[in-house]
């Protein structure tokens, strides 16, 4: 998802830094992006995503290269709910990777943008964070954390030059959801989702569901009374 967003941003010459845990993977992505936009400056930075000190240092390194204009925090994993129920270590990892880690990165970048008095900070949440459901409530809890955090950050920077954008995708055709697609689940094309994410970031919209139909779907799900919701197999 983030890679497709990067391709769209590279339609103009930009200064882009990729951050990932797998050095070989982000170098491959960076090489592909350089071919697509030879005039852009593209860096690849390896980091640890659960170590606060490494996150702080990574963000500090990026900020030392110049003002940070736009940040997209898009990492995560989709755990198997049953595994989280049976293995507390798996449960903890799902919560940390999908909730705590994005928040730590966002807080570190927020500190830099506060110094600059400008910038756009975008976080990828999920429709799963709108209401806990038995099929993925650990993942949903992590994304619910991201939602509440983003709302608080929006309140913190209200009226300033810093914009905070929360993106809530529905199921999207990415490697993370490949096992769901193989089971017949319908997925939104990642190219279309990326276009909507980039548009939302450029507009500075506080919250965007992608595709847009999920705003209506999740409004219904959020407001279903418990006695109805508890009979649903979702």
The whole domain housing 153 covers 68-229
User: With 70 as the cut, is the pLDDT of residue 85 above it?
Assistant: yes
Mean pLDDT for all residues in the chain = 95
| Closest CA relative to residue 120, chosen from 164, 63, 73 | 164
At residue 185, the pLDDT reads: 72
DSSP state string for 6-54: HHHHTTS--EEEEEES-HHHHHHHHHHHHHH-TTSEEEEEE--SS-HHH
In a domain, 27, yes or no: no
The CATH number linked to 73 is 3.40.50.720
At residue 177, the pLDDT reads: 73
Confidence of residue 87 (pLDDT cuts 50, 70, 90): very high
Quote the strand ranges of 47-177, DSSP E. 70-73, 119-124, 162-169
Phi, psi values for residue 197, rounded to 5°? -65, -50
For the ranges 46-50, 112-116, 127-131, 170-174, which has the lowest average pLDDT?
A: 170-174
User: With 90 as the cut, is the pLDDT of residue 182 above it?
Assistant: no
In a domain, 171, yes or no: yes
Q: CA distances (Å), 123 to each of 34, 53, 168, 208, in order? A: 25, 20, 9, 11
Give the position of tokens 């809890």: 141
Task: Give me the number of domains the chain comprises.
Answer: 1
What is the tens place of the pLDDT at every residue in 117-171? 999 999 999 999 999 999 999 999 999 999 999 999 999 999 999 999 999 999 9
What is the tens place of the pLDDT at every residue in 187-196? 889 999 999 9
In a domain, 60, yes or no: no
10 Å CB burial of residue 211 (0-12, 13-18, 19+) is middle
In a domain, 57, yes or no: no
What is the tens place of the pLDDT at every residue in 161-180? 999 999 999 999 876 676 66
In a domain, 21, yes or no: no
Rounded CA separation 65/67 (Å): 7
In a domain, 141, yes or no: yes
Q: Of all residues in the chain, what percent carry a pLDDT higher than 70? A: 96
Rounded CA separation 91/147 (Å): 19
In a domain, 50, yes or no: no
In a domain, 62, yes or no: no
């Amino acid at each position: 998802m983030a890679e497709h967003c990067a391709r769209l941003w590279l339609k103009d010459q930009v200064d882009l830094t990729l951050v990932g845990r797998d050095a070989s993977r982000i170098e491959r992505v960076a090489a592909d992006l350089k071919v697509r936009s030879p005039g852009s400056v593209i860096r690849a930075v390896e980091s640890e995503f659960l170590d606060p000190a490494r996150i702080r240092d990574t963000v500090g390194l990026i900020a030392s290269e110049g003002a940070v204009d736009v940040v997209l925090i898009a990492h995560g994993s989709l755990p198997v709910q049953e595994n989280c129920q049976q293995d507390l270590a798996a449960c903890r990892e799902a919560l940390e990777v999908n909730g705590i880690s994005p928040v730590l990165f966002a807080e570190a970048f927020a500190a830099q943008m506060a110094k600059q008095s400008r910038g756009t900070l975008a976080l990828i949440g999920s429709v799963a964070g709108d209401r806990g459901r038995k099929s993925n409530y650990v993942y949903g809890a992590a994304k619910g954390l991201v939602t509440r955090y983003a709302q608080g950050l929006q309140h913190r920077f209200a009226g300033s030059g810093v914009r905070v954008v929360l993106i809530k995708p529905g199921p999207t055709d990415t490697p993370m959801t490949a096992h769901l697609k193989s089971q017949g689940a319908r997925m939104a094309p990642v190219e279309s989702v990326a276009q909507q994410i980039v548009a939302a970031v450029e507009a500075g919209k506080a919250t965007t569901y992608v595709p847009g139909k999920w705003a209506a779907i999740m409004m219904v799900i959020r407001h279903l009374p418990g006695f109805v919701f508890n009979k649903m197999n979702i």
